[in-house]
């Protein structure tokens, strides 16, 4: 583990991920974390994770960005104290506008109906939805049966 990026989504995380990848780093962005590190995050969520679990799961990963990392970065840094921390930031009004725009794009209109159907009725979609809900609940203390579709803008 060489780099831990702890900025919120919509603060340049995709650009940072591409830059680190272009520099030759093995980067785990949200997608990789969601699918390849699920058992590690589940241990974080249920409070059973150990330093050895973290080390074994992340020893071959060069950089983490987005996803659960923004919630658990301190625990990861404790295991990999030589890692550099990068915090990406953005003006809050521009950040909110961008986040709202992303959510409006994905969660409104006909595209939203298809996405909701796939997220709730396919095994991968259902797993992805539950995972996203856990991140929001754990990281931000929000409670809802289905947080992904509970936002009201």
User: pLDDT tens digits, residue range 68-127?
Assistant: 999 999 999 999 999 999 999 999 999 889 888 887 777 777 777 787 778 778 888 878
Q: Is residue 82 located within the same domain as residue 98? A: no
Q: Measured on CA atoms in the order 141, 146, 152, 153, is the torsion positive or negative?
A: positive
pLDDT at 50 exceeding the cut of 70: yes
Q: Is residue 9 located within the same domain as residue 77? A: yes
Distance separating alpha carbons of residues 9 and 3, to the nearest angstrom: 17
What is the residue range of 80's domain? 3-86
DSSP tag of 4:
E
Q: Is residue 11 located within the same domain as residue 52? A: yes
Q: Is residue 11 located within the same domain as residue 59? A: yes
Q: Is residue 19 located within the same domain as residue 80? A: yes
Q: Which pTM was predicted?
A: 0.82
Q: Is residue 141 located within the same domain as residue 72? A: no
């Amino acid at each position: 583990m060489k780099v831990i990026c702890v900025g919120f989504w919509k603060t340049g995380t995709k650009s940072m991920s591409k830059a680190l990848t272009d520099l030759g780093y093995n980067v785990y962005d949200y997608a990789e974390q969601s699918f390849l590190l699920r058992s590690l995050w589940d241990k974080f969520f249920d409070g059973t994770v150990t330093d050895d679990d973290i080390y074994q799961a992340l020893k071959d990963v060069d950089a983490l960005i987005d996803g659960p990392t923004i919630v658990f970065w301190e625990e990861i840094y404790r295991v990999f104290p030589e890692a550099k921390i990068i915090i990406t930031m953005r003006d809050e009004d521009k950040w909110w506008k961008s986040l709202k725009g992303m959510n409006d794009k994905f969660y409104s209109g006909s595209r939203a109906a298809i996405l909701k159907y796939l997220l709730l009725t396919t095994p991968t979609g259902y797993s992805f939805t539950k995972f996203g809900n856990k991140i929001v609940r754990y990281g931000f203390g929000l409670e809802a049966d289905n947080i992904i579709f509970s936002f009201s803008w």
